[in-house]
Structures are given as C-alpha cells and as structure tokens.
Chain A
C-alpha cells in the first residue's frame, strides 16, 4: 500500500498570497496517477486536479498541480476567500487507492 504524507499540516496565509502544498508518496505513483481534492466543512470533497497536473472541469486556473514519481505539489497562485479549506492528495495508480492526511489552509 502506498502511504501519502502531506506537508505542512496547516498553512496560515492571507488572501492574495501563494499557497504551496506538498504530497510525498512512500513509493513511486504509477503513471503519476495523483489527484488533489478540496474539502470544506460539511461538504463532499471537490476534485481539483487529476493525473498530477490536469485541472478538472470548472476549476479556476489559479489551481495548478505538478510533480512526478514520489513528490507532488499543489499550488494556489493567489488565495481567494473561498479557497480556505482542507486539501487532500490521493493516489490511484495502485490498489488500494490511498489518501494523504490533508493540509488545512486557514486565514492568517
């Protein structure tokens, strides 16, 4: 089973700032099958990125994903008020699919 580690656990930033979230895998993620989700309290996760760098339909271009192998990054270029949430990475390159523990982006 691939274990995903996310850092930092919490990121305190102000609107307009750049957010850089990290996801590291315990072994190489096959085909870079890595997704990112945003989750707000009481809501289901929302898919942001799949295939490490492809934006899902309707996702603003301030969200971008990069990386390969074992190291992946989600970047939010300029934080909007609605971006403060928890972000999860997920690998689907091998079964069982696994998620990271999440990074909380909160308002500084």
Chain B
C-alpha cells in the first residue's frame, strides 16, 4: 500500500526558504509511470497545485509560483522535495505531497508550515 509522508520545518521566517521532503513507501518512485506532486491549502481556504516531478527529473510548475519553486527527486532515498524561496505570510499553509499525473489519488497527511518571525 502506497504511503506518502511529508517532513520539514513547521516554522519559517519571512524571506527565508521553505523546505519539505516527501518520503514514499510501498512503491518505487523510479518504477512509477506517475508524476509526484506538491499542493497546498492555506488555513480555511481552498487547494492550490504547486508543481509536479517525474522520476527522471522532469518538472512542471504553477506559473504563479514558478520563480520561487524548486521540486527535486532523490530516487535512491525514494523521496522528492519542495523548496519555496522568499516566503511571506501568504505562504502559510498545509502542504501536501501526492501521487498522480493530473488527478491525485494518494496523498500524504499534510504538513502545516507557518511563516512568521
């Protein structure tokens, strides 16, 4: 059974870089035909797609965040990661990792990241 688990700092200072890692178990990232994605949800608000990566390293990002986002993959650790630079309070959200190439069936439990000094 596929499981995804987000990990990383829960509190980030304004202007710094948010970093999260998603550890995948129950399936191999490199053996998958799916993309692996990051999405977020500000408290009490709706969902936003951040971007996705294929095991080969091919990525595509939401243009609204593209200048600040980097998604990378480490197949040796069966993990993929998110970095979001120059964060502000508007980046406070629950961040989810998920598997899918458009629609997302498997999700992590989510990680709350608060941007505050």
Contacts and interface: CB of A to CB of B under 8 A. Distances in A.
Interface of A: 1, 33, 35, 37, 44-45, 47, 50-51, 56-57, 88, 90, 92-93, 95-102
A57 B106 CA distance: 11
B60 interface: yes
Nearest to B109: A44
Nearest to A47: B105
A96 B103 contact: no
Contact of B49 (A57, A93, A96, A101): A96
Interface of B: 46-49, 60, 62-64, 96, 98, 101-105, 107-110
Main secondary structure, interface of A, reads loop
A56 B64 contact: no
Main secondary structure, interface of B, reads loop
B46 A102 contact: yes
Contact of A97 (B46, B102, B107): B102
Nearest to B63: A96
A17 to B, nearest CB: 25
A90 B62 CA distance: 14
B46 A47 contact: no
Contact of B107 (A1, A44, A51): A44
Residue from B60, B107, B110 with most neighbouring chain A CB atoms (10 Å): B107
B96 A44 contact: yes
B93 to A, nearest CB: 13
Contacts of B110: 44
Nearest to A36: B103
A50 B103 contact: yes
A96 B62 contact: yes
Given A44-B109, A99-B47, 13 more contacts: A33-B102, A35-B103, A44-B107, A45-B96, A45-B107, A57-B105, A88-B47, A92-B101, A92-B102, A96-B64, A97-B62, A98-B49, A102-B46
Residue from B48, B102, B110 with most neighbouring chain A CB atoms (10 Å): B102
A88 B46 contact: yes
Nearest to A31: B102
